[in-house]
Structure 1
Amino acid sequence: MAGPVTDLSINLLATGLGAAMAHSAQRARTKIRKQATRKRIGDFFGRAGEKILVVHSSIYDEPERAYNYPATDTRSARILAQFFEESNLREGLDFTIVPDRGVVSESLLRENNVVALCGPARNSCYRRLVSTPSSMRYDMAENPNPGGRGNLLRDNLRNTRIYSSRQEAAERGVAEDSHFDYGLVASLPNLRNPSKRLVLLAGIHGSGTVAAAQFVANSENLGLLSHRQQAGVICEVLHVKYLEEDPETPIDVRLA
């Protein structure tokens, strides 16, 4: 007949084994999740083992005679960096963040998977990489009108332009009762080297760029985007709400 000491030992052993098994199962689930995330990163940003070049915009300040980096661009770049690092990608080895003015050599755009942050109005690498008419459903271009500024977003399927609330107010006289932007999220073969990926994360304004970076820095969202791929191309638009007093911070983001 087992005594109280023996019963206690058995209970402690069972508890210890249960905790060890739970810990082991948790580690296995974490490993599986990380593997799934790495695969999704590879599908969207470029194959595992290939370097990712994240390019954000820079603006030359004439009075200061110095380059400034838009806050929304640097914020978006750090969002991606944190996501990559959490997936065991190493900055400087697996991915690098650079301003567009630092990309002088065409070979950098040809030999790497490239992420262009911000639209063509500010990011010169976006303009260099997407200089031909696009076959994507959505595309973004610099405002060609005399005196025009900013980015223009188009839905090529419907042959219509998509306006942010600021653009509607400025160009159409629509009262800006609600505040919203749009963000382009695209992944496609790099025209300079189809074996590499070109990723476009660009808002009409800065809030759309931040929202695009936040959206793809999520494994489940990358999985959702992969199911929408057509002929190797992913191209979606996000509807982004923000507060009037803080136009750089998205408060609600969803696929348009």
Structure 2
Amino acid sequence: MGTQLDTREAQVEEVLDRLYDAYPDSTISLNFSNRLELLVAVILSAQCTDERVNKETAHLFEKYEMVEDYANADVDELSEDLNSITYHNSKADYIKTSAQLMLDEHDGEVPDTMDELTDLKGVGRKTANVVLQHGHDVVEGVVVDTHVQRISRRLGITDEERPEAIERDLMEIVPEDDWQQYTHLFISHGRATCTARNPDCADCVLEDVCPSSKLDGDVDLASGEKWA
């Protein structure tokens, strides 16, 4: 039966030790070869699978190689080039507008600060954190995607619901050296075992330290909340 350790810090330490062992090669799954490609890929990945994004960017990055290519693109043509991506019309506008801003204010370069990145259209803290970590080797926070949000709550590491509040919680509890890998490990575990609707608690390496284990028989695993 799943239980929670005495403190959230102890919970995090135990969880990370086990996930590092379970997923030793966990890393970002988006394909990119430079900072611009990374930024575009992360913008496209919002509410879309990395697998789908990688399939789309395989030809997108051949057509649009420079920031000028995006800035000068016809937005309808760019949107059509992204038509298998969710919200492709909005994302085409985000990418074109951001590319123009980078030309106007950053000499065509992808910004390297949180404030400058989040000034780009369609870029929030999650996207900015990914670009900083994997494009500039700067770890300023924790990337909170749907897996991190769901599993952190299920494990009792945070009670917060909004990504920004969850990130603040995690930054206080998770050792800074683990901020980047925390996300990759939780994504790997979320894809392999702790899925949104049918988590495989029986084969989970965290089952005995998870207060939301469905083996307890009193948890709504879709939301991660205890039943009333």
TM-score, normalising length: structure 2: 0.26
Q: Computing the radius of gyration over CA atoms, which structure comes out larger, 1 or 2?
A: 1
Q: Which one scores higher on RCO, CA 8 angstroms, separation ≥ 6?
A: 2
**Structure with more helix by fraction:** 2
TM-score, normalising length: structure 1: 0.24
